Amino acid sequence: MIRFENAVKRYTSRGESKWILRGLNMELPRGRSIGILGYNGAGKSTLIRMISGAEEPDFGTIHRDLKISWPLGFGGSIAGNMSGHDACMFVSRLYDMDPHRVIHFVQDFSELGPYFFEATSSYSSGMKARLTFGLSMAVDFDCYLVDEITAVGDSRFKAKCLAAFNERRKYADIIMVSHSEKTIRDYCDMGAILADGELTLYDDLDQAMSLYREMMEQ
Amino acid sequence: MAVTYSTSVNRFGHAVWAITLREFRNRYGTRRLGLFWAFVEPTAYVFVFSVLMSALRSTTSPLGIHIAPFIAMGIMSYMMFNAVEGFVRGALRSNKSLLSFPRIKPIDIYVGRLIMEVATLVVVFLCMFSLFVLTGLANAPSEPARLLLPLALSVVLGFAVGIINSTLIAIFKAWENIYSVASRLNFFTSGIFFIADGMPTEIQRMLYYQPLLHISEWVRSAWFGHFESRFLDRFYLIMTVSVALLLALLLERTFRKNVLNKI
């Protein structure tokens, strides 16, 4: 369960304040995968970070009792001086898993070769994405938070991600931010639009998509 | 929430363990000279101040032993506070990326750093004092266990002040500059170079409010059977450290939001 209770979030920059959430009360349905749509700067990434707990709302609370992944995205959760191997060790200790299995899985998934033992600061963005995605697939999360990660990487990597995720769709959901309509369609069965501090859920992904397209044209 | 108390303690344990090992690897795994540098600071202090003090006064300390182990005891009491404080204060800043893991909360990072730094200091000072004992400059303490409480209080005070500073800096940036200027005073008032009983009553009265001086007096009293500080007020020290820890945890909880959003 992920439930927002009077969640308020506002940013003030250069004297101008911007609403991300104006008091949201909502429970995200279990068993559905949600694609979040919205303008650049509507606060989609902040929303994802708030769901993960890396940021907190200004007022209100977000209740969660699922095993939620860290936000998979550009902003690395893995420090630059960690190698792929270090990251695997860290995650297996954090989630109390067998490190050998994690390392084996991630090495196989990420195809980093010898780079697996190098500091991640020397990785290309595609390599970083392969490592983070592989690492998150090694842990059996109930809900995956994805912030545009599949935008990097070639089509082969994209197909691999989708295949890996489809395998665990039975018991894992995804909450995703992406500007690519195709990616959202591949992963999600439900849409949400974040605009001007309001989050609206749409049971029908197509409806959300066409509404969003209309919003963009205005 | 479905998370029980025991699961939560268990998760805390795993998070702290993961961070502690990462901190060790970060500090000593990548640079080959990491451990060497951990020894340099205390050794340099002890060496420089021993040479200075023996040039200015004599090679005999106020307690009758050689000046070097005397200063080393002061440095140990002081650094158990100061080094821990510094590492805890910078903990979130240098582990910013880890906070995006939902399982990791600021307190896990503070505690992980605390463990790493205390382990380092214990190794460094064990080596230093073993050397003093082997060379005959100091006698081994008759009851080493008596040292544990004052040193632990120093560590806990450093941990508490580190958290307080880390929180205050997130709210009010200039605090870092104010603290680092103000804390210079600690170096000269925490009894690294002197014992409180040798000071004029006026000064003793002012220094009564310096917990670090109580700590170094306690450490020296615990080390030597023949020395019992008249200045030392154990009750005052324990109360100060407890209040500081309580305040630190309260501040951390109250301003966690602000800290997370600023970091």
Q: Could you tell me the residue range of the domain that residue A34 belongs to?
A: 1-69+141-154+173-218
H helix and E strand count, chain B? 12, 0
Average pLDDT, integer, range A6-32: 89
pLDDT at A126: 84
pLDDT in tens, B173-222: 999 999 999 999 999 999 998 888 888 999 999 999 999 999 999 999 99
Residue A163 belongs to some domain of the structure:
no
Contacts of B31 in chain A (CB under 8 A): none
Residue A94 belongs to some domain of the structure:
yes
CB-CB under 8 Å, A78 with B99: no
Same domain, A98 and A135: yes
Q: Give the three-state DSSP class for A114.
A: helix
In total, the C-beta contacts within 8 angstroms joining chain A to chain B are: 58
Q: How far apart are the first and last CA of chain B?
A: 27
Q: Is A54 on the interface with B (CB under 8 A)?
A: yes
* Cα separations in angstroms, A156 against A62, A126, A160, B186, B254: 36, 12, 6, 60, 47
How much of chain B, in percent, has pLDDT values that exceed 70? 98
CB-CB under 8 Å, A89 with B102: no
CB-CB under 8 Å, B260 with A95: no
Report the DSSP pairing between strands A59-64 and A34-37: unpaired
pLDDT at B72 over 60: yes
Rounded CA gap, A100 and A112, in Å?
17
CB-CB under 8 Å, A71 with B97: no
pLDDT in tens, A58-84: 999 999 888 999 988 765 678 888 899
Residue type, A148: E
Closest CA of chain A from B99, distance in Å: 6
Query: Domain tally for chain A?
Result: 2
Same domain, A191 and A209: yes
Question: B224: which residues sit within 8 A by CB, 6+ positions away?
Answer: B63, B65, B141
pLDDT at A55 over 80: yes
Closest CA of chain B from A207, distance in Å: 32
Same domain, A82 and A148: no
Q: Which helix (H) or strand (E) holds B20?
A: helix B5-24
Nearest by CB to residue A90, choosing from B2, B22, B261, is: B22
Q: Nearest 5 degrees, angle CA A86-CA A87-CA A88? A: 90
Nearest by CB to residue B30, choosing from A49, A76, A81, is: A81
Chain B contact probe: residue of A11, A66, A70 with most B CBs at under 10 A: A70
Q: How far apart are the first and last CA of chain A?
A: 35
Q: Could you tell me the residue range of the domain that residue B140 belongs to?
A: 5-262
Chain B contact probe: residue of A94, A95, A97, A149 with most B CBs at under 10 A: A94
Same domain, A43 and A149: yes
Instruction: Say what the ipTM of the complex is.
Output: 0.87
What is the signed CA dihedral for B250, B252, B255, B258, rounded to 10 degrees?
A: 180
Ordered strands of the A173-177 beta sheet = A72-73, A143-147, A173-177, A34-37, A190-195, A198-202
Rounded CA gap, B172 and B167, in Å?
9
The answer to whether residues B174 and B98 touch, using CB atoms and an 8 Å cutoff, is: no
pLDDT in tens, A171-189: 899 999 988 888 899 899 9
Same domain, A104 and A203: no
Q: Provide the pLDDT confidence category of residue A150 given band limits of 50, 70 and 90.
A: low
Rounded CA gap, A51 and A171, in Å?
19
Q: Is B230 on the interface with A (CB under 8 A)?
A: no
Contacts of A71 in chain B (CB under 8 A): 100
Query: Domain tally for chain B?
Result: 1
A152 vs B65 pLDDT, higher one: B65
Q: Provide the pLDDT confidence category of residue A192 given band limits of 50, 70 and 90.
A: very high
Residue A133 belongs to some domain of the structure:
yes
Same domain, A149 and A213: yes
Same domain, A208 and A120: no
Same domain, A38 and A48: yes
Same domain, A51 and A148: yes
For residue A22, the cross-strand partners are A8
Same domain, A39 and A145: yes
Residue type, A210: S
Nearest by CB to residue A77, choosing from B97, B256, B257, is: B97
B118 vs A14 pLDDT, higher one: B118
Residue A54 belongs to some domain of the structure:
yes
pLDDT in tens, B80-129: 999 999 999 999 998 888 888 989 999 999 999 999 999 999 999 999 99
Q: Nearest 5 degrees, angle CA B97-CA B101-CA B106? A: 75
pLDDT at B2: 61
Rounded CA gap, B82 and B161, in Å?
9
Rounded CA gap, A67 and A141, in Å?
5
pLDDT at B163 over 60: yes
Rounded CA gap, B214 and B78, in Å?
11
- Provide φ and ψ at A193, rounded to 5°: -115, 130
- For B110, half-sphere exposure in the C-beta direction (CA atoms, 13 angstrom radius) is 22
Q: Which helix (H) or strand (E) holds B14?
A: helix B5-24
Same domain, A100 and A146: no
Residue A165 belongs to some domain of the structure:
no
Average pLDDT, integer, range A38-56: 88
* Strands annotated E in chain A: 2-13, 16-28, 34-37, 59-64, 72-73, 143-147, 173-177, 190-195, 198-202
pLDDT at B120: 95
Instruction: Indicate which CATH number applies to the domain containing A197.
Output: 3.40.50.300
Same domain, A41 and A145: yes
pLDDT at B85: 97
